[in-house]
Every structure is written in structure tokens, then in C-alpha cells.
Amino acid sequence: MVVEDTPSLALVYARQLEHAGYEVQVADNGAAMRGLIMSGGTFDAVLLDLQLPDCDGLELLSGMVGMTERTKVIVVTSDGSIDRAVQATKLGAYDFLVKPIKSDRLLTTVRNAIDHMALARSMEQVRRENERDTFHGFVGGSPCMRAVYRSIESVAQSRATVFITGESGTGKEVAAEAIHLSGPRRDKPFIAVNCGAIPEALLESELFGHRKGAFTGAIDNHAGAARSADGGTLFLDEICEMDIKLQVKLLRFLQTGLVQPVGASTPQPVDVRVVCATNRDPMREVVEGRFREDLFYRLAVIPLHLPPLRERGDDVEMIARAFLRRFTKEEGKPAGRFDDAALAFLRKYDWPGNVRELQNAVRRAVVLNPGPVYPLQSHGQVAASMRDGRPAPVDHPFANPSAGSSVRENGAVLDIAGLTLEEVERLAIERAIKDADGNLPLAARKLGVNSSTLYRKRERWEGKADGEAPSKAG
């Protein structure tokens, strides 16, 4: 911006700067300058005459708080007063020029100012990236996670498919949503499909939709996940669980951008960005013939690996404290802290279940303790105590301090001391499903496991029920 009340000078400055490749706006007084800035104008540099008809340039500079942090101000004076130039620099001006201004001097000063501003912005961006400890649902500021954040921001603007790998509980769906929210499709749908949680016979319909009457139970038309995500992002979780026959259809969809609902005669175009994830080693799945090699290379255009929690250093405490704040608020418990033993446990335990296991441990501590000091214990310790036949610790979800190793079901206290771990597990799962009114995904979320785990266990139990006596827990 050129702020100059003499029209001929303003025109000369503007033409010289435009000829050098800059976009220029002119203000002929202080009010006009304020108006351009207040209306949302952003400028890399401002050429400010100190002698304006409606105000003194120094007063204008001092009155616009924060302006010199957002733009480089070059003051112009005709009297050559060193005192006024010094005052201007004390107020944050980048440099000063004395009229008459030679063209090369003007262009050099403006170029240096803009280069300096660009460098300052780059350094500020690096500083923010190196200090941030949250990112679209992620908590943590470890170097490996900051690298993940940078990778997500880099790939978000692309249409290329992303293949996310990592152990269970590392936040693969959170990463997929972060890619969606960081890119141009953020205002469009994000549709997630767990390929391991849906029975094989129904997965094609869930992905690509079906027509009414296409098969038994198809009482209405169903759009399917791909068409529901049109314009947005389709996230395929547990992709390596997909049946090899359906992989062929998925590959065709990725190559053509066309979906053909079950029972439909013609395919339909959709525009989706595909992100997929697995907790398996995809190359091993390819080598062992469970995953198509051509599909893998079509999906793995951009690989993204999420580190396990044990490699994230101090992130463990940061995440645990975030969960503690969240769950104490949700459960109406006093805001509090972890005891010294819990803090030591956080640092030493390797968290094989990653963030999901940590989340469950903190929730369990909040639910089963009055606060404001909360202890912690891992799922492994809970399971070990049950296998050994000892009473479950106070922070175990099935423990009743007055009843020893027992669980209350519909008002009755059931003795679990004589049950196997598998039987107790079945009792817990069936109880969670009942509490969720038969909604398996909801029950899985409450238990902190993948819904595919519940589907597989129920199928196994139903298979046993056909030829075996029911268990004690049944």
C-alpha cells in the first residue's frame, strides 16, 4: 500500500512498484489507509508518508496496534529529520526513506522488507509446528507425531489415495478424519466403513448400495457408502479383512470412479477421495495371497504410518491428562490428578493397546474412584488378576468391593470366581450388547474394541451353540 497525499508522487511510486511485479493500492490520507486495513486488506509492505493532510504519520503508526507485526512499514519523510526516523523505527517501522526517492532505492527497500516479512512468517510457521501438541483430534507433541501432522497437511490437498498403517488403537480413523478436515473436501461427507465389522455377504451392499428386491431383506433402495461420500472422503478401515472377490470390485471402482449397486443394471459416477487403513502388514498379506497386489499398489499411493504409543515419549502423560479432563467432566466427577503411582505407571508401561487402552484405563479410573486423585491400572493387570483367581482390583469394571469376585446383573450378584476368562469375557460382551439395546458398534465403543471383534466372537459362540452345551456365562 502506498500512503501518499500528493497524487503525482503516489502515481510514480505505484507505477514503479507495479512494473517490478507488485500489486499496489493507494491511499491519499490516514483515514483511507485505516479503511483499507479495516476492510480486510492484507499488505506485505506499506509505504507511509509521515506528513498527511488529516493526521501525523507517527501518530497513525502508534495508533494502529499490531500493524507492524503483520506488515513491514517503510516511512517516508521530506524533511530528512533523523529524530522522526528514529521515532518511527521505535514504533516498529522497518526502514525509512527521504524524499526525493530514487527508483532503485525504493525497489530495493520494498524488496528487502517483503523478503524479511516472508522469512518471519516462515519462521513463525516452523515455530508453531514445533510447539503444537494437538491436531484435529490428536493429542501429542512428540517429534514423530509432529511429523505425522506435517504429512497429513501435505497429503490433504491431493486426491491421491492414502494407505494408513499402524497398530490397533493408534488412531487410524482420527488420521483419516484429519486428512479430510485439512483438505478442500472438509465441508463434504466423511463416510467410514469398517470392512472387518460387516459380514462378508453384506459388505458389497454397504459399499456400493443395492436396489430394492436385489436380495432377501432388500426392502428399500440403499445408496451405499461410496455414493453417500460423493464429493467427500470414503474411509475403508480394516481393508485387509475384505474378501478377495470384493477386492476385484473395489479395484474396478477405484480405476473407473463408477459404482454399480447390487441389482442395478448401469453403473453411476461418484467423486470420492479414498483413504484406507489396516493394523496388519499389507505386504505380508499380499505375499501370502490374502490381498491383491494390484489393489495394494492402487491404494498405497501415499503411505502414512502411525507410531505406537510406546514410541511417543511424553505424549502418554499429555494424552492421559486430556482423557482425565474429559471423563471427569462427562461423569460429573471432581477435576483432579493422577497419583504418583499412576504417573510412574504411565511412563513405564508399554501400552500394547495404544491410545485405546490408555483411554479405557483412564475412564475406568474415573468411573470407579471418587476423586480428586485417580489411580491407573492396565487391562493386562486386570486380566491377570482374574486368571489367578484373585478378587478383581477396585478399578476393574466388574468388581464389587463388598462382594469380592462378583458382578451384579439385573440386581442379582453373580459369582465369577469359578468362571474361565473366556466365560467372563462373554458375560461382559453380552452385558454390553444388552445395555446398548443390541447395537454392536455402540457396545464395541463402550468396551473399547473394534466392532469386528464382537461380530467374530458372536459367530464363534453361535457355532458352538449348535453342537455344544452353553457355557456357564451363557
Q: Are residues 254 and 363 in the same domain?
A: no
Identify the pLDDT of residue 87. Answer: 81
Please identify which residue in the block is written with the cell numbers 461418484: 270
Averaged pLDDT for residues 55-67: 78
Q: Could you tell me the CATH number of the domain that includes residue 420?
A: 1.10.8.60
First to last CA, the chain: 78
User: Has residue 268 been placed in a domain?
Assistant: yes
Phi and psi dihedrals of 114, rounded to 5? -70, -40
Summarize pLDDT for 121-153 with one digit per residue, the tens. 777 666 665 566 889 999 999 999 999 999 999
Identify the pLDDT of residue 79. Answer: 64
Q: Are residues 270 and 370 in the same domain?
A: no
Q: Is 127 exposed, middle or buried (0-12, 13-18, 19+ CB in 10 A)?
A: exposed
Identify the pLDDT of residue 2. Answer: 93
Summarize pLDDT for 349-399 with one digit per residue, the tens. 989 999 999 999 999 999 989 889 999 876 555 555 545 544 444 333 333
Identify the pLDDT of residue 272. Answer: 95
Would you call 25 helix, strand, or coil by DSSP?
A: coil
Summarize pLDDT for 1-30 with one digit per residue, the tens. 999 988 999 999 999 999 999 999 999 888
Identify the pLDDT of residue 139. Answer: 93
Domain end point (choices 265, 292, 307): 307
Q: Are 215 and 262 in contact (CB under 8 A)?
A: yes
User: Has residue 24 been placed in a domain?
Assistant: yes
* Whole-angstrom distance, CA of residue 260 vs CA of residue 263: 8
Q: Are residues 287 and 356 in the same domain?
A: no
Domain end point (choices 307, 323, 342): 307
Q: How far is CA 34 from CA 41, 63, 97, in A?
A: 10, 10, 22
Segment 342-351 long-range contacts (CB within 8 Å, at least 24 positions apart): 342/374, 342/375, 342/376, 343/317, 345/376, 345/377, 345/378, 346/316, 346/317, 346/320, 346/376, 347/316, 347/317, 349/378, 350/310, 351/308, 351/309, 351/310, 351/316, 351/378
Task: Select from 195, 20, 193, 188 the least CA-distant residue to 108.
Answer: 20
* Nearest-10 crossing angle of helices 451-467, 440-447: 110
pLDDT: which is higher, 80 or 234: 234
User: Has residue 394 been placed in a domain?
Assistant: yes
Identify the pLDDT of residue 410. Answer: 45
Q: Are residues 107 and 30 in the same domain?
A: yes
Summarize pLDDT for 203-221 with one digit per residue, the tens. 888 899 888 877 777 778 8
Q: Are residues 143 and 229 in the same domain?
A: yes
Please identify which residue in the block is written with the cell numbers 465441508: 187
Q: Are residues 368 and 354 in the same domain?
A: yes
Q: Are residues 216 and 240 in the same domain?
A: yes
Q: Are residues 346 and 437 in the same domain?
A: yes
Q: Are residues 303 and 314 in the same domain?
A: no
Averaged pLDDT for residues 289-306: 94
Q: Are residues 167 and 300 in the same domain?
A: yes
pLDDT: which is higher, 228 or 116: 228
User: At 166, is the pLDDT very low, low, confident or very high (cuts 50, 70, 90)?
Assistant: very high
Q: How far is CA 139 from CA 277, 316, 344, in A?
A: 20, 9, 20
Averaged pLDDT for residues 74-99: 80
pLDDT: which is higher, 42 or 46: 46
Averaged pLDDT for residues 53-67: 79
Q: Are residues 369 and 303 in the same domain?
A: no
**Percent of the chain residues topping a pLDDT of 70:** 85
* Whole-angstrom distance, CA of residue 205 vs CA of residue 201: 8
Domain count, the chain: 3
User: Has residue 473 been placed in a domain?
Assistant: no
**Partners of 193 in the β-ladder:** 236
User: Has residue 10 been placed in a domain?
Assistant: yes
Q: Could you tell me the CATH number of the domain that includes residue 205?
A: 3.40.50.300
User: Has residue 474 been placed in a domain?
Assistant: no
User: Has residue 174 been placed in a domain?
Assistant: yes
Domain end point (choices 266, 284, 307): 307
Is the overall model pTM greater than 0.85, yes or no?
Answer: no
Q: Are residues 463 and 389 in the same domain?
A: yes
Tell me the residue range of the domain where 350 lies: 310-467
Please identify which residue in the block is written with the cell numbers 497419583: 339
Q: Could you tell me the CATH number of the domain that includes residue 110?
A: 3.40.50.2300
Summarize pLDDT for 385-433 with one digit per residue, the tens. 545 544 444 333 333 333 334 444 444 444 455 566 677 778 888 888 8
* Residues whose CB is less than 8 angstroms from the CB of residue 86 and which lie 6 or more positions away in sequence, other chains included: none
User: Has residue 364 been placed in a domain?
Assistant: yes
